[in-house]
A and B are shown apart, each in its own frame.
Chain A
């Protein structure tokens, strides 16, 4: 990736992160579905990590989390700590597994939301917030995971379209092109043998 592409990617991620937080606070958090509101911020972080890699994912997670804590007057650092993990983990999933299934963003969005919900409850408990852990809390987390699953794919698609032109080229695509030559196992055996015999002659 050259520097221009990096700068372009960073700018696009900054814009996406900023507007994601604004839309979440101004609109999404005021629309109730099944008694809970959707939270698109972990989905955005997951999408950035899944598309751009672990480092952009972690850095954008830190920034989005910090911005959310400031705007919503929560304890600064809590959400950013959780989103760093979500962003980095999503990027690593992309590097290690290279998932190509269409429903991967949905599954990863559900896991990201669940991790964020449980992590927030644990950190609040560790900080001594006087809120009892009850079935109601678990119910809220489960409902939010379900609601976020409904919007995970659209959010991923929007982020992908916004970042598409600045995204790094898929390194495995280069290795796949290499297999289209005579060394490719996808070639017909007769073709390979034909070329090999020509070389020996």
Chain B
């Protein structure tokens, strides 16, 4: 009796294993359109409403468990999210800086092309120091004598001239801006009769420049928004007598609403600089201002 029971048990076991192996082999070997796959899909289709119903009925339990699990994981998720946010903020700041640098470089490129500045030995430099309060005085850039920069080299930024080098080291240079006191440069009003004068910052208002010592005939043909450029005066008979600044570099535009009146009264013209001195980041130094 006992032996019979054992034999029957073993037979059932072997039968179940054989059926499983046969189904496994057949299922694995047939295509997705085979009979076993079709039966599987059919049974799953029949059971899917029941599965959906059970899922709906059990959803409150699932939601509670999910809520508890979410609460437990919330702290670590918050930490991860904060770290990712910080990383993305840093990357965004870096990307925005790069975009700004690119825009500045693009404007400098256009300035170089429009005014043919390439022949003056341009050296691009980044502004590494600028006083937020005394922004109109000096800036420090990251190029120096090791890059060919010398004292009194003119410096341009997107828009036009910004100043010249007043102090230089091997890998830095201090640039005095044309809005700083005691700065002056020979300038010329383009168009009209090309009147020449001396451009310097307005006393007490560093964001405005004044063109002084204009001739009496300067009022003729003078108009607002006319471009003011460096005059670059030089004596053709004596090469030692030559302006530090090459001619034709833009500086600003005539800003007076009524230039005729101001010229008649004081032979001066107010000039609005083209460069935004409070937001300088990339500049170019003319290392060969007296080319040739």
Contacts and interface: CB of A to CB of B under 8 A. Distances in A.
B144 to A, nearest CB: 54
B151 interface: no
Nearest to B64: A31
Nearest to A61: B16
Interface stretch (A20-28, A170-178, A187-195): A20-28
B9 A76 contact: no
Given A26-B51, A27-B62, A55 B12 contact: yes
B13 A58 contact: yes
Interface string A103-144: 000000000000000000000000100000000000000000
A37 B94 CA distance: 41
B78 interface: no
Contacts of A32: 69
A73 B20 contact: no
B183 interface: no
B66 to A, nearest CB: 7
A181 interface: no
Contacts of B24: 75-78, 81
A54 interface: yes
A27 B17 contact: no
Contacts, number: 76
B61 interface: yes
A62 B16 contact: yes
B21 interface: yes
Nearest to A128: B28
A183 interface: no
Given A73-B40, A77-B21, A84-B20, A22 B50 contact: yes
A31 B68 CA distance: 10
A33 to B, nearest CB: 7
Contacts of B17: 81, 84
Interface in A12-36: 22-23, 25-27, 30-33
Contacts of B22: 77
Interface in A63-89: 65-66, 69-71, 73, 75-78, 80-81, 84, 88
B47 A26 contact: no
A44 interface: no
A62 B8 CA distance: 17
Contacts of A69: 40
A59 interface: yes
A15 B66 CA distance: 27
A76 B36 contact: yes
A26 B58 contact: yes
Most buried by B among A55, A69, A76, A81: A76
Given A25-B51, A69-B40, 10 more contacts: A26-B58, A31-B65, A31-B66, A55-B9, A55-B12, A76-B23, A76-B24, A77-B27, A81-B21, A127-B28
21 contacts: A22-B50, A23-B58, A25-B51, A27-B55, A27-B61, A30-B62, A54-B9, A58-B16, A59-B16, A70-B40, A71-B43, A71-B44, A71-B47, A73-B44, A75-B24, A75-B27, A77-B27, A80-B16, A81-B20, A81-B24, A84-B13
In the A-B complex, the 5 residue pairs with the closest CB atoms: A77-B24, A77-B23, A27-B58, A26-B54, A81-B20
